[in-house]
Amino acid sequence: MRPMKNLYYIGIVLLTLVSCNSQPEQKWLTDYVNPLIGSGGHGHVFVGASVPFGMVQLGPTSISQTWDWCSGYHQDEASVIGFSHTHLSGTGIGDLFDVTVMPVTGEVIYARGNIEEPESGLWSMADRTQEIAEAGYYAVPLTRYGIKAELTATSRVGMHRYTFPEATDAAIVIDLQNGGCWDRTTEAFMQAEGDNRIVGYRRSRGWAADQHVYFVAELSKPFSNFTLNGPDNLYGRVSFATVQGEEVLMKVAISPVSIDGARLAIQSEMPGWDFDVTREDARRLWNNELGRIRIESPCDELKRVFYTAMYHTMMAPALFNDVDGKYRGADGNIYHSPTPRYTNFSLWDTYRAKHPLMTIMQPEKAGQFVAYM
Q: Is 270 or 23 the better-scoring residue by pLDDT? A: 270
Q: What does the pLDDT average to over 88-115?
A: 91
Alpha-carbon distances, residue 368 vs 23, 100, 358 (angstroms): 26, 30, 11
Cis? peptide before 317, omega within 30° of 0:
yes
Q: Give the dihedral sign, CA 172/178/181/187.
A: positive
- Please report the pLDDT score of residue 26 as a whole number: 59
Mean pLDDT score of the chain: 90
How many CB atoms sit inside 10 A of residue 225's CB?
Answer: 11
Q: What is the pTM of this model?
A: 0.90
Start-to-end CA span in the chain (Å): 26
> Do 99 and 354 meet the contact criterion of CB atoms below 8 Å apart?
no
**Residues 46-98: pLDDT tens digits?**
999 999 999 999 999 999 888 888 888 999 999 999 999 998 888 877 889 89
* DSSP class per residue in 96-110: ---SEEEEEES----
**Residues 154-208: pLDDT tens digits?**
999 999 999 999 999 999 999 999 987 778 999 999 999 999 999 999 999 988 8
**Residues 211-269: pLDDT tens digits?**
999 999 999 999 999 999 999 999 999 999 999 999 999 999 999 999 999 999 999 99
Q: Is the pLDDT of residue 295 over 60?
A: yes
- Please report the pLDDT score of residue 59 as a whole number: 97
Residue 308: what are its φ and ψ, rounded to 5°? Answer: -70, -40
- Please report the pLDDT score of residue 146 as a whole number: 98
CA 36 to CA 141: how far, in whole Å? 17
> Do 20 and 289 meet the contact criterion of CB atoms below 8 Å apart?
yes
Going by the DSSP 8-state scheme, the letter that residue 31 receives in this structure is G
- Please report the pLDDT score of residue 179 as a whole number: 80
Q: Is the pLDDT of residue 23 over 50?
A: no
CA 260 to CA 31: how far, in whole Å? 37
> Do 241 and 248 meet the contact criterion of CB atoms below 8 Å apart?
no
Q: Is the pLDDT of residue 105 over 50?
A: yes
Beta bridge partners of 160: 151, 250
Relative orientation angle of helices 300-312 and 275-290, to the nearest 10 degrees = 100
* Residue (of 307, 192, 214) closest to 263 by Cα position: 214
- Please report the pLDDT score of residue 65 as a whole number: 86
